[in-house]
Each structure stands twice: as structure tokens, then as C-alpha cells.
Structure 1
Amino acid sequence: MVFAPVHDSERLNGSRYDDVSRRSKWGKMNTSRAIAGALFLGLALSSCSSPAPQAAPAASIPPAGTPTATPTPTPTPSRNVNARGQIIKAAGETAAWKGNKATDTPTLTFKVTSIQPITCDAPYATPPTGTMIAINVEISTTSDFIGPLVSSGQDFISFDPYHWKGYAANGTRMNTVDSGSSQNCLADRSRLLPTEISKGEQLNGLVLLDVTSPSGEVSFDPFSAGGWVWSYPAP
């Protein structure tokens, strides 16, 4: 039997191949162990660590809508009345009184156009107690006017000083504004309003009041129920 010689190179090559094969197997085993170890370590850490904090839910903000306009209330008409129950008027402003229950429209309208001091010019005039003021009044009554006063069966209204009141600038009421001086102050008495005013008339004249202070308020109150009030002097 003839044996073929085995060369060292072949023996070495075979040995090299075996070493490479063994190293390859060990490398794969080591890699598998490393992966398994990493997985185990990750599971262990995840089981021991605290759970991650949950994010707070986002606040829900409703979409902005078109604002609803608030309706503006309609103001209720009201009279401008002071603490004394008097209707406050300015010079040139019309005042009205219905005066007849059978109608809804005023039967008396009037307005004070000015309130100014006046100098008495009658030769027999007596000096006023305080300051004499002249109130210029325009008056109109309708055909169905019924006055609050009655004389000899005839109803009427009067703007005489007796139906007026005076108040000083500090609000103190004057004892009277009717004096002998107001009755005989003017030489031309036709400038004064007549004592009685009835239905269907239009007039323009003066009322003279003897007031104790140069400024304040005067009120016309023929019904003893408050009446109307003006500040003086008034242009």
C-alpha cells in the first residue's frame, strides 16, 4: 500500500480552518449571550424603575364665538323733580298741566322766559323788603281748560304772587314773596299778568316777587301739590 505524503501546508490549512470554525462558533455564542444579557438587564431595570410621568391632559378651550350684543334698555321717561316734589324747569322750558280729566292733552301750557331784578318806577312805590324780581311768563289755555280756582262760578288759574314761593340759595324757604311793594312797583301796571286767567286765552306778562336774597329759587304752586320751580336770576 502506498501512502501519499501529507504536506505540512495541508496540515496547517486544516488546522487553520478548524480554528476559524471554532472561533466563529464561540463568537456567535458570545454574541447571543451578550444580547440575552442586555435584554435581561433591560427588563430588570424596567421592572425596578418608576413609571414615566404621564403628560397632563391639554385644557380644552372652547372656540371663541361672536359676542352677543346686550340690548340697550329703553329709558322710562320721568320728570325731573327735586326733594320738595317740585318739577325743575329752566328759563325758556315749557311747563304743562292737563287740568281736565276728559282729555289726555294739556289744557294749560306756560313758560318762564326770564327772571331778573327790576327797579320799581311807580311814584307811590314802597321800597321792597329784599330784592324785587320780575318773572316774565307766557301762558296759553285751550277751550276745554278747567282752572283749579273758582270765583263767582267761573273757574280760572292765577299767577299772582300769593301762589309763589321763594327759597334762598342755601335752600331755606322765604316766609313770603308777596308784599305791598310787588303790587304797586310799576307805573305801568298793564305789564303785569291779570289775576284771573280762564280758558281759551293767550297772555304774556310779568309777575313781581319780593325775595330776601339776590339768588335762589322760586316756585309756582297754585295747587299746593309741589308745582314747578326755577332758579334765579335767569336770563
Structure 2
Amino acid sequence: MAAKLFLVSLLFLTGAVQAGETIRVYQLDGSIHCREAESTGPDQAAEVLKKAGVKVLSSSSRTVPFALPGACGTPTGKANVLVVDADDWKKMTGKHTDAPGFGVWIFDRPLVEVYKYDGSLQCQRGSETSLEDMARELSENGIEVKSSRKGTDGRVHISMCGASTGRLNVYSIATESLPAAQALGFELLVTRKMTGEIAVPPVSRRAPALSRTPRSPGTTPGKGAIPKLW
């Protein structure tokens, strides 16, 4: 489970990195539900990166802002978050493809996007839920919708009647409302556009970010397509 979490959030910085640029990275601390598992603190996590040649500017303890199973034996979601030198990070990931279990922290945003599949199926089967109707589910539960749009998941779906169309209803909400939205069955949407904002502080030139999750063969992002990272 922990490995899967890192897989979806590990990103490479490619191309030129400006001097002094920093990014936030994280590593789950190893704590497990219902167990007294040995956990790693922020200072210990920082030492791992320092030994790998990465300059660490600060470290803290946070919780990943997306839903995780609460069953015994699963990760608690507690993480060590560190601000590191972007150039050092790039060099390390070039040598160590698993980035010693660290991923890029992309969650410090005032707004996030959440989504649900709209229920449409190929051959006009299924029952499509409109943006407006699904938005009411959020607003009736105290979640303000800042904006909404239609999209697709960018995946190649099997062509047969009754199969998913891949169409999504996507909503922009305040980050603090994410847990409430997830409780309603909405999922956090992380796109490649988001990964372009991992630099701290923002800079005019940013290197493109690439997901480790390969794109389905023959697919290219089109109008309305959402190249999901997970």
C-alpha cells in the first residue's frame, strides 16, 4: 500500500532547474493503524536525504490530504514533509529511481479539484448525472463549489455497449473541504497541470513534470481530457 502511494506521487524534474529553487517532498512515516510500528520522524527522514546529497532546508510532520483505508495494518497517512533543494533532488532521482521512498508534495494549494464519473455508458446506456445535479450533492453538504467542468479520464476504454465512457464531472473546492467531499465519494484529481506548481516559491520558468505512471498506448490529451496521475 505504501509503495503504491509513492508511485502515484513520485515525479521527475527534467530540464534546467534555477539556482536556489526548492520543492517540497514527503515520505510516509511508517505508522500503521492498530499497530505499534516503528515510525520515522522528520529529522530521520531529513538525514536520509542528506546522506543522498540533498540539501534539506526544513522538515515537519503532516498528514496526506486524501482518503486512505482505516483498516488495521494500513498506513495512517502521517508523513514527513521536507523542503529541499530542487537541483539536488533532480540529481538524486537521476541516480536513485525510487527516490528512497520519497514523493513530491503537491497538496499545498488553496483549491483542489475533485471528481466523480458521471455515470454515462457507451451506446447511451447508463444514467448521466449532470454537473448541476452532482454539484448540489456537494453544496447540500456544506461544500462550496468554486467552479465545475466536464472532462474525461484520458484512458482508453474498451469499445462495447455498457462500458464506461470515461466522462467525469469535475469540481473546484477549497482544500479544507476535501475530506468532506471524499466522504461523499468524490476523489482528489491530480493532473500534470498541478505538477507544474511544485516549485517553492513559484518561478517564471518551470521544468515539465512527468508521471511515472505510463500513459495508455495511443492516447494523447485532447480537449477536455484530464491526464490523471492516479
In the superposition, the TM-score normalised over structure 2's length comes to 0.25
Give the greater-gyration-radius structure (CA): 1
TM-score (norm 1): 0.24
